Amino acid sequence: MDSKRIAVMDLGTNTFHLLIAEGTADGFKAVFRQTEAVKLGEGGINRGIIQQEPFNRGITAMQAFKKRIDEYGATQVKAIATSAIRSAANGPDFIQQVKEQAGIRIELINGAQEAAYIYSGIKASGALGDQNSLVIDIGGGSVEFIIGNKNKVLWKQSFEIGAARLMDKFNQTDPIPVTSIKALTHYLNGQLIDLFAAAIQYKPVNIIGSSGAFESFAEVIEIKKGKTFDIKQTKVYEFDTDDLLDLIELLIKSSHSLRASMKGIIPVRVDMIVVASLLTIYLMQKLGIPDVSMATYSLKEGVLADMLG
């Protein structure tokens, strides 16, 4: 099979990612990666609008991506938009402006398609085995849950409870107060009923976190141990449960300045990692699953795997 060079963009609520890779269905090699902290949901995520400044940042990021795509000579280009653009009244306008100003056609996908791509990415990372796993992808706008194994997806659903949305609703004070944590827990109890039913039915034995906050957890833990940890060289990482719980507890009680000073947390995640931590420990406890791992592959690698496959 011929090797082809493909550019995939994942246009999320917080970050826009560009991955340029080449190879075949059996394996691909990243040629170039770029991440832009666009924060598209800033100031409007729960009001269903992309504000003017984030809108402009998004256009600028897409123009920068287009330069790279041309420079690296990618022959196939796919840009995928998810929750923030999906739920914004001016999402179609953003898509139109990107087409006019950056020459990139954006494909808007729904939550089910998003979950399917994430599964493909996790599968490509080699994180799935014969037993059922619960894959969690905490985005800024939505969170995708997939229960499956290396052979198939048994259940999948997307919920509009992403970190930017939860932060906007529950995390206005730093450190987050206990009353807010209780309110968040109560909210999740009501939102995630379908997930609990699926977990009872399919009994996942472990949790696999897809990139994002889970990458930060892994980096902080390894750096604290004094180890050199290169996230780019890692496909799958197994958490020590105690290490993960200790870190989550620390993050939940932490101030902004403490988190900002921690090596391993990128700036765009400094604040959202609190609600991501709360969601993670909530799921571990609620579902009784202490075994957690992380895969660095997510939606864009899934799109790539599907295009090459």
Domain ranges for the chain = 4-108, 129-299
CATH for 129-299 (3.20.20.70, 3.30.70.1450, 3.30.420.150, 3.30.465.10): 3.30.420.150
CATH number (3.40.50.150, 3.65.10.10, 3.30.420.40, 3.40.50.720) of 4-108 reads 3.30.420.40
Establish whether domains 4-108 and 129-299 are of one fold.
yes
> How sure is the predictor about 1, in pLDDT bands with cuts at 50, 70 and 90?
very low
Q: Considering the entire predicted model, what is its pTM?
A: 0.95
The three-state secondary structure class of 278 is helix
The length of the chain, given as a count of residues: 309
Of the candidate ranges 19-33, 132-146, 169-183, 264-278, the one whose mean pLDDT is the lowest: 19-33
Q: Is-contact 61 36, C-beta < 8 A?
A: yes
Q: Considering only 22-26, 76-80, 212-216, 296-300, which range has the smallest mean pLDDT?
A: 22-26
**272 pLDDT more than 90:** yes
Between 25-39, 67-81, 84-98, 141-155, the lowest mean confidence (pLDDT) is in 25-39
Once rounded to an integer, what is the mean pLDDT over residues 106-116? 95
Cα–Cα dist 108/190, whole Å: 28
* pLDDT tens digits for range 22-50: 987 667 899 999 999 999 989 878 899 99
Are the C-beta atoms of 300 and 19 separated by less than 8 Å? yes
227-261 pLDDT, tens digit per residue, is: 888 888 899 999 999 999 999 999 999 999 999 99
Half-sphere exposure of 159 (CA within 13 A, CB side): 21
212 — alpha (psi -120 to 50), left (phi > 0) or beta? Answer: left
Which is more confident, 253 or 83?
253
Are 131 and 304 in contact, with CB atoms under 8 Å apart?
A: no
Residue 105: count other Cβ atoms within 10 Å of its Cβ. Answer: 11
Q: Which residues contact 142 (CB under 8 A, 6 or more apart)?
A: 13, 82, 83, 111, 114, 158, 159, 160, 161, 162
Distances (CA, A) of 220 to 106, 135, 214, 224, 250: 34, 21, 10, 6, 11
Q: What is the predicted pLDDT for the residue at 66?
A: 98
pLDDT, residue 191, reads 98
Give the DSSP H/E element, type plus range, for residue 20. Answer: strand 16-24
**Pairing mode, strands 4-11 and 143-148:** unpaired
Looking only at Cα atoms, what is the longest distance across the chain? Answer: 57
